[in-house]
Amino acid sequence: MEIKVEDLLLEIAKLRKEIEKLKIENEQLKRENAMLKARLGMNSSNSSFPPSSDKFGKKKDKNRSLRKKSDKASGGQIGHKGSTLEKVDNPDFVVELPNDICPHCAANLKEVKVEEVKTRHVFDIFEIKINVTEYQAHLKTCPHCNKKSISEFPENVTHNAQYGANIKGLILNLNVYHCLPYKRLTELLIDVFNLKISEGTIYNTLKTAHTKLEKVENFFKEQLAKSEVAHADETGTKVNGFRRWIHSFSNDKLTVLTSHKNRGKKAIVEAGILPNFHGILSHDCLLMIVLMLLMHFVMLIY
């Protein structure tokens, strides 16, 4: 079969068109693939997504800093005025180091006058131990009326054996402010103070503090509601494996955080601040503004 040159040229032209078409489709697929990969890798740290959208998955390791490695040595640089630990005027303890024997000829130096005293200061924490205070209430019988009476214990001493205010305050600070969970808190108390406190005692301490601080919390809420300008926000977290929302409301002096299983209106209303707030609210989400307008509208109607 004879193949004509004209037919070959037509076939080549046809194949070239198909190749160009495939190139265009390939470029489109590359762009779509890159876009999908970018979406899969987006989280709150590399996009405008809120932290609550991260799904609590394990993030890949990445360089947190974009700074290039410096050729300078670590520590303070030449010409930089540093700071160091300085001696104090009134140390808590003084330990004298007598020089009674001459190290050169073994002569007795006890009666020799001290020409100069050189000092060095050591800053340290002494052994931390729990102090137990016993309160003794005296029971007496009156010789005139023959009736018995006993002196009163302090108002905060209510049990035969109990933990004091300083220990309870430390538990609150470590758990609430430093976010130390029960188990690690108990381990720290054992390691530092040799104090064995159960997780149940920690829970009861926090519960009692929550009840006693309710008036303080309500006062903060009242003051925040009177603010001319305030900021509100929320972020997702997990408590015992369940999704919870931490709602914040603050001004330049006060901040109130509340936890709720809902993110929207129900949580805002139960927090008890925004329904009574009539100032300027700063927030990074349109949803909060819409809810505020709806609440004010409902209040005007009723």
Per residue in 142-168, pLDDT (tens digit) is: 999 999 999 999 999 999 999 999 999
- Residue 301 is assigned to a structural domain of this protein: yes
Is the same domain home to 194 and 228? no
Where a domain ends, among 148, 177, 212?
212
Q: Give the model confidence (pLDDT) of 76-123 as tens digits.
A: 666 666 678 899 999 999 999 999 999 998 889 999 999 999 999 999
- Residue 153 is assigned to a structural domain of this protein: no
Is the same domain home to 255 and 179? no
Q: How confident is the model over 22-35, as a mean pLDDT?
A: 83
Segments forming the whole domain that contains residue 190: 165-212
- Residue 170 is assigned to a structural domain of this protein: yes
Is the same domain home to 260 and 276? yes
Q: Taking 90 as the threshold, does the pLDDT of residue 299 lie above it?
A: no
Is the same domain home to 205 and 261? no
Q: How confident is the model over 177-206, as a mean pLDDT?
A: 93
- Residue 253 is assigned to a structural domain of this protein: yes
Query: What proportion of the chain, given as a percentage, has pLDDT over 90?
Result: 48
Is the same domain home to 227 and 301? yes
- Residue 224 is assigned to a structural domain of this protein: yes
Residue 138's pLDDT is 96
Q: Are 109 and 101 in contact (CB under 8 A)?
A: yes
Where a domain ends, among 212, 241, 267?
212
- Residue 194 is assigned to a structural domain of this protein: yes
Is the same domain home to 225 and 280? yes
pLDDT category at 127 given cuts 50, 70, 90 is confident
Q: Which residue has the higher pLDDT, 215 or 7?
A: 215
Where a domain ends, among 179, 194, 212?
212
Is the same domain home to 229 and 208? no
Q: Taking 80 as the threshold, does the pLDDT of residue 125 lie above it?
A: yes
Q: Taking 80 as the threshold, does the pLDDT of residue 56 lie above it?
A: no
φ and ψ at 116, to 5 degrees?
A: -160, 145
Which amino acid is present at 112? V
CATH of the domain at 236: 3.30.720
Cα distance between residue 264 and residue 286, in whole Å: 12
Instruction: Calculate the CA dihedral of residues 277, 280, 285, 289 and round it to 10 degrees.
Output: 60
Q: Taking 80 as the threshold, does the pLDDT of residue 175 lie above it?
A: yes
Q: Taking 60 as the threshold, does the pLDDT of residue 50 lie above it?
A: no
0.85 exceeded by pTM: no
> Is the Cα torsion angle 32, 36, 41, 43 positive or negative in sign?
positive
As for how many domains the chain has, the answer is 2
3-state class percentages of the chain: helix first, strand second, coil last, to nearest 5: 40, 10, 50
Q: Are 239 and 56 in contact (CB under 8 A)?
A: no
Residue 191's pLDDT is 92
- Residue 242 is assigned to a structural domain of this protein: yes
Q: How confident is the model over 34-51, as a mean pLDDT?
A: 65
Is the same domain home to 256 and 196? no
Q: Are strands 139-141 and 242-250 parallel, antiparallel or unpaired?
A: unpaired
Is the same domain home to 231 and 294? yes
- Residue 146 is assigned to a structural domain of this protein: no
